[in-house]
Structure 1
Amino acid sequence: MNKKIDRRIIKTNESLTSSLLSLMENRPIEDITINEICDLAKTRRATFYQHFKDKYDLLTYIINKIRLDYLVQGLNEIVDIKQFCTILVERSFKLFSRYRKLIKSSTSSPSFYLMEDIFTKEIMSAVKTKIDETKNFFSYPGSSIFLSNVFAGALMQVLKYSFKNGKEKEEEIIKELSLFLSRL
């Protein structure tokens, strides 16, 4: 049975999320205080700490929410691992494009590595789960752990390459990566 979440909790989480994302567009998370997040969200510090341990816990919550809302939503029905991975690639590029300003402000800070690590683990988890679900129907050239690590690492490197080389290269890179996946 699903637990219903109080609307006030949802509203508070959304407000804190929006505030942190807004602040991170101009500064890395290390330079942002809990007070600034709370002031922008019109929330008390005590309320913040009822929901999150610290600002990094909030950041982890945001990345997980983004993953659930945008990245893997609706992918459960897809059985073909190549199609699954191709869609993950396309959605990952859309996410990086959508949050380009936030990512750009964080690239020189340690928070970038935290975000990258969380995102990479989420991709690895999604791919590993899909491989494990379909291993009785398809043969794979390695274990689900190995293949999910290779895919997630390659995707992160390609995303960083695209980010450094400009938005105009995205379509070309997505096509090349899709072609590569189709030949596996």
Structure 2
Amino acid sequence: MSKVDRRILKSQEAIKKALIELMSEKHFDNITIQDISEKANVNRGTIYLHYLDKYDLLDKLIEEHINELRKMCESACELDWIDATLIFCEHFERNYSFFSMMLASKGAPYFRNRFLGFLLEEFRKEVDVTKGKNQGLNEDVIVRFVSSAYVEVVEWWFMNGKPFPHQVLAEQLGTLLERNL
């Protein structure tokens, strides 16, 4: 794998940060490439060097975060539900501006759907309808129930300005996951 020039990474980070900041100021449809270039302090050509348009930029930003969550799942799979959920809640806290913009402000409904799809995929790996408390229940119903609840709770947490620390959110979500999966 070739090493990426730090100037390229710095420009890409500035562009992504500018998009998130702009989305807090106005609706995505009203943001132009010129707005992004001014906010990021880069030329429009620099943006087009890395992204096809603002939709490609948003898609790559979302994909980056989903991939990060996917990697976290790989390392958290051996943990109990509370400890595994703490890893995710710490990530939400560290990336507050992104997640609050994507969830709390409805800045990008596409992200919410991608986040839900990611959770559906991951929780499906954890469901066992052949024994225990979920025996005889429909796997799709359980997975959709748990995934939708998870997204809704995280979204509620951001929309309400993080009414309690992320550790409390992790403990409560982890406990609920443990009870339902």
TM norm structure 1: 0.68
> Is 1:18 the equivalent of 2:6?
no
> Is 1:77 the equivalent of 2:75?
yes
Q: How much does 1:36 deviate?
A: 0.9
Alignment of structure 1 residues 36-47 onto 2, 5 Å: 36-47=35-46
The corresponding residue for 1:182 is 178
Q: 1:115 aligns with which of 83, 87, 111?
A: 111
Contact 1:89 1:155 in 2 (8 A): no
Aligned counterparts of 1:144 and 1:51: Cα–Cα separation in 2: 41
Contact 2:15 2:40 in 1 (8 A): yes
Alignment partner of 2:89: what SS?
helix
Aligned counterparts of 2:89 and 2:14: Cα–Cα separation in 1: 28
Query: Which 5+ residue runs of structure 1 have no aligned equivalent?
Result: none
Q: How much does 1:165 deviate?
A: 4.3
Please give the root-mean-square deviation of Cα atoms over the aligned residues, in Å.
3.6
The corresponding residue for 1:51 is 50
Q: How much does 1:20 deviate?
A: 0.9
Q: How much does 1:152 deviate?
A: 2.8
Aligned counterparts of 1:65 and 1:170: Cα–Cα separation in 2: 25
Contact 1:162 1:170 in 2 (8 A): no
Could you give the per-residue CA deviations for residues 48-69 of structure 1, whole angstroms, max 9, x where no partner exists?
2221122122112222223445
The corresponding residue for 1:124 is 120
Over the matched positions of the two proteins, sequence identity in percent amounts to 24
Alignment of structure 1 residues 139-154 onto 2, 5 Å: 140-141=128-129, 149-154=144-149
Contact 2:89 2:169 in 1 (8 A): no
Aligned counterparts of 1:105 and 1:176: Cα–Cα separation in 2: 20
Aligned counterparts of 1:96 and 1:41: Cα–Cα separation in 2: 18
Query: Which 5+ residue runs of structure 2 have no aligned equivalent?
Result: 131-137
In the superposition, relative to structure 1, how do residues 62 and 12 fare at CA in structure 2: closer, same or farther (>3 Å)? same
Aligned counterparts of 1:92 and 1:121: Cα–Cα separation in 2: 18
Contact 1:19 1:37 in 2 (8 A): yes
The one-letter code matched in structure 2 to 1:17 is K
- The number of equivalent residue pairs is 171
Contact 1:34 1:55 in 2 (8 A): yes
- In the TM superposition, structure 1's runs of 4+ consecutive aligned residues that sit over 6 Å from their partners are 142-146
TM norm structure 2: 0.69
Contact 2:102 2:112 in 1 (8 A): no
The corresponding residue for 1:5 is 4
Aligned counterparts of 2:128 and 2:104: Cα–Cα separation in 1: 39
